[in-house]
Structure 1
Amino acid sequence: MARFTDETINRIKTEISLLRLVESQGHQPKRQGKDWAIRCPFHEGDDTPSLVISPKTNLFHCFGCDAAGSVIDWVMRTRGVSFRFACELLQNDAGLVAEGSAQPVKKNTTTKLSIPRQSRGL
């Protein structure tokens, strides 16, 4: 398997809007100054929005559970997939041209994590 180049990873991190990705998953961010906030999907009992998304840096950070990262980290945590598979999903969704001769994965080989308890309606 060919690995993703640093240039490809940086393109994914900068060209794919984290805010738009979060909205596409059904979250409704609220503006807080120059940033946006949502209730964190990664920990229970988040009564007030504690996860902040910064469009300027295209990063997220939760002040409740300390989850943080880029669009790749978001996909890894919300979909329960590996770094490589998250990059492939984002690359395919964004229509980015693969570097070199990297072939798309035909089957996910990682174990999918269970849905956070909050999302299951408990």
Structure 2
Amino acid sequence: MQISKKEIDTVKQSHDLRTVVSSYGVKLQKKGANYVGLCPFHNEKTPSFTVNPKTNLYHCFGCNAGGDVIGFVTKTEGIGFREAFDGLSGNGKSITPLPSSILAQGL
């Protein structure tokens, strides 16, 4: 069954990206209008991962990863769009954050 744009938008709007990112162990600090932290997708010592709470999007200036809450879960969990969508919408397997030590290794 195909997912409608309305359903996708509802899931995106119903999840605060900052909260989801933090649930994966990424420590975010407020910097201006955004939140910054160490990127969960590559090793770094200087924070280059940014979450914009106004747009509910993320971007890493170090590895150029970026997207919305569904994309973040897809990339972090290593799963497909549909599985991430279903997990976030409550219609599938629950999304369980991975330990940050595993995320830092890029697994």
User: What residue is the counterpart of 2:8 in the other structure?
Assistant: 9
Determine helix, strand or coil for the equivalent of 1:52.
Answer: strand
| AA in 2 matched with 1:27 | V
Structure 2: distance between partners of 1:7 and 1:14 = 10
1:64 aligns with 2:62: yes
Q: How far did 1:12 drift?
A: 1.1
1:52 aligns with 2:50: yes
TM-score of the pair, normalised by structure 2: 0.84
TM-score of the pair, normalised by structure 1: 0.74
Determine helix, strand or coil for the equivalent of 2:35.
Answer: strand
Structure 2: distance between partners of 1:73 and 1:86 = 8
**Structure number with larger C-alpha Rg:** 1
Structure 2 alignment gaps of length 5 or more:
94-101
Structure 2: distance between partners of 1:51 and 1:117 = 13
Contact 2:27-2:38 within 8 A present in 1 as well: no
Q: How far did 1:60 drift?
A: 0.1
Q: Quick one: structure 1 residues 23 and 3, their matched pair in 2 at CA, closer, same or farther if it must change by over 3 Å? A: same
User: What residue is the counterpart of 2:96 in the other structure?
Assistant: none
Q: How far did 1:117 drift?
A: 5.3
Q: Quick one: structure 1 residues 59 and 117, their matched pair in 2 at CA, closer, same or farther if it must change by over 3 Å? A: closer
Report the RMSD for the aligned CA atoms in angstroms. 1.8
Contact 2:26-2:39 within 8 A present in 1 as well: no
Equivalenced residues, count: 99
| AA in 2 matched with 1:61 | H
Q: How far did 1:85 drift?
A: 0.4
